[in-house]
Amino acid sequence: MANLVGKKAPDFNAHAVLDGHIITESFTLEQFHGKKYVVLFFYPKDFTFVCPTELHAFQEKLAEFKKRNVEVLACSTDTEQSHWGWLQLAKKQGGIAGVTYPLLADTNKTISAAYGVLNGEFGVDDDERLTASSEMIAYRALFLIDREGIVRHQLINDLPLGRSVDETLRIVDALQYFELHGEVCPANWSAGKEGMKATFEGVASYLSNN
């Protein structure tokens, strides 16, 4: 797995589905540079089980991300046509109708590979045939990218383990608090709580008061 924290987020130019029904052949990360924060999350497959719960959960909190100037992007190794079909399927049928943020189609797996979240590796056997060690789909990974295009947080879960959208919002709040106040965020910090000066005196003061 690649550690991208503190590094420039890999750009991409991908096919995507926008607003639940519009297919575009050119969607880039670079378009948000200098303008917005980005939460880019990867999921394994369309038409599966844990995945729709996560996509709906992000949609339910989409207004909260927008309030924080955050663009939410989802990505899997499915095609844009598969994304489109899943978006037309009702929630009660296991679909993701109602999801409006962009769904990126990483069909050639280059985005997942660039972010270090592809589950498996390609190889060549003794007969010089191309092999794959698994299905070559994306893990449940998430990256918080700041307005300068730098990765500030990453999370990679194994396939069965769903993520917490509330925790993602908390991390966004922590980054923006640090940027605004210059103070670091201690354990279990959440919006509305005090931060901490990154000094020995600051630590001592914080611990004595909490």
Q: How far, rounded to the nearest angstrom, does the alpha carbon of residue 102 sit from its chain's CA centroid?
A: 12
Q: Which residues are catalytic?
A: 51
How many of the other CB atoms lie within 10 Å of CB of 143? Answer: 23
Contact present, 14 and 105 (Cβ < 8 Å): yes
Rounded CA gap, 177 and 106, in Å? 33
Rounded CA gap, 87 and 12, in Å? 23
Rounded CA gap, 112 and 122, in Å? 13
Q: What is the dihedral of CA 97, 80, 165, 186, to 10 degrees?
A: -160
Longest dimension (CA), the chain: 67
Which token pair is 64?
């909260």
